Amino acid sequence: MSMCNNKLLKAAKNPLLVLLRLKNLLRSSFMRRRKLRIDLGKERDKLLNFLSVNFNVNAFDIYSEYVSSEFKTWYIAKKSELINLFGSSGVCSDFDCAVLYLLVRSMKPDIVVETGVLYGSSSAHILEALQENGSGHLYSIDLSNDPNLPSQDFFVRDIVKEQWQLIIGDAKVELPKLLDRLNHVDLFFHDSLHSFDHMSWEYSMVLKYISSRGVLSSHDVLTLLPFERNAFRVFCKQHHLKYQVFRNIGIALCKGSM
């Protein structure tokens, strides 16, 4: 049977897979338009300098630690597994995941909250960095995954799960409850629903709980839904937060620590 026939047969058996691939294809071609001109080497150096200056660390050393880590090798193999099974994975890019690892290793937060888990790429990078720090907890909120797709802990190794609480539910409901319970947050990472209203709502909710020298970070700060502005820059400007954008992640240092 030809390769084309094989693909058609596979598609007929699993229409969900076809939809997933189509969604990822649309998303990546849309994003590509805005990211084409980004030089990743320059972007990485900009990030490492930013972290070194603002958190008084040698982020270049932390980067070396990350690229030679056992976790990084394990993660790449696991990501290939996902891509072989489901095509383009739809998870955070390698650069964006590295940003999260480096940020957590540099700022050493106690309490981290994220919205949007999918298969756990961002969660895993935060958790591995917390474990390397020797302390800290991550609280993640996401809707439930389709049972035919990988679970939310697909990328999360058992050895870091003790530092993780996964909350299944709508961020609109779960985020206010969680923030009330925790009382404060050192680092927040948004990666759930990327509409202007939802992003603005999450940032506003969290800002009230961010600790002094805390960080509000967000994925998809370059993503624009049709007819919408991106909420991250607008929010930071409105609240006089100093921020920087590294590829598709925005980092705002909340209480004037920049």
**β-strands 210-219, 249-253 pairing:** antiparallel
x/- mask, ligand SAM, residues 147-186, rule CB under 6 A, reads -----------------------xxx--------------
Q: What burial class does residue 43 get, using C-beta atoms within 10 Å of its C-beta: 0-12 exposed, 13-18 middle, 19+ buried?
A: middle
Between the alpha carbon of residue 3 and those of residues 6, 8, 14, 149, 213, the distances in Å are 5, 9, 17, 24, 55
Q: Which is nearer to ligand SAM, 54 or 82 (CB)?
A: 82
Both tokens of 70, joined, read: 């056992």
Cβ proximity to ligand SAM: between 57 and 143 the closer is 143
In this chain, which of 54, 192, 230, 248 binds ligand SAM, going by CB under 6 A? 192
The span from the CA of 68 to the CA of 196, in Å, is: 38
Per DSSP, the chain holds a count of helices (H) and strands (E) of 10, 7
Q: Cβ closer to ligand SAM: 124 or 252? A: 124
* Choice from 75, 101, 116, 217 touching ligand SAM (CB under 6 A): 116
Site string for ligand SAM, 15-54 (x = CB under 6 A): ----------------------------------------
- Counting every residue, how long is the chain? 258
Cβ distance 151 to 145 under 8 Å?
A: yes
Q: Is residue 191 part of the contact set for ligand SAM (CB under 6 A)?
A: yes
∠142-248-66 over CA atoms, to 5°? 85
* Residue 228 touching ligand SAM (CB under 6 A): no
Instruction: Please tell me whether residue 142 binds ligand SAM under the rule CB under 6 A.
Output: yes
Q: What angle do CA 247, 250, 256 make, to 5 degrees?
A: 140
Query: What is the smallest separation between the CB atom of 189 and ligand SAM, expressed in angstroms?
Result: 8
Backbone angles phi, psi at 50, to 5 degrees: -60, -45
Please state the closest distance from residue 155 (CB atom) to ligand SAM, in A: 8
Please spell the DSSP secondary structure of 2-28, one letter per residue: -HHHHHHHHHHH-HHHHHHHHHHHHHH
CB of 231 to ligand SAM, least distance (A): 14
| # binding residues, ligand SAM (CB under 6 A) | 17
What mask, x for binding ligand SAM by CB under 6 A, covers residues 77 to 106? Answer: --------------xx--------------
Does 236 bind ligand SAM (CB under 6 A)? Our answer is no
Q: Considering just the CA atoms, what is the radius of gyration of the chain in Å?
A: 18
Q: Which is nearer to ligand SAM, 121 or 217 (CB)?
A: 121
Residues making contact with ligand SAM (CB under 6 A): 91-92, 115-118, 121-122, 141-143, 170-172, 191-193
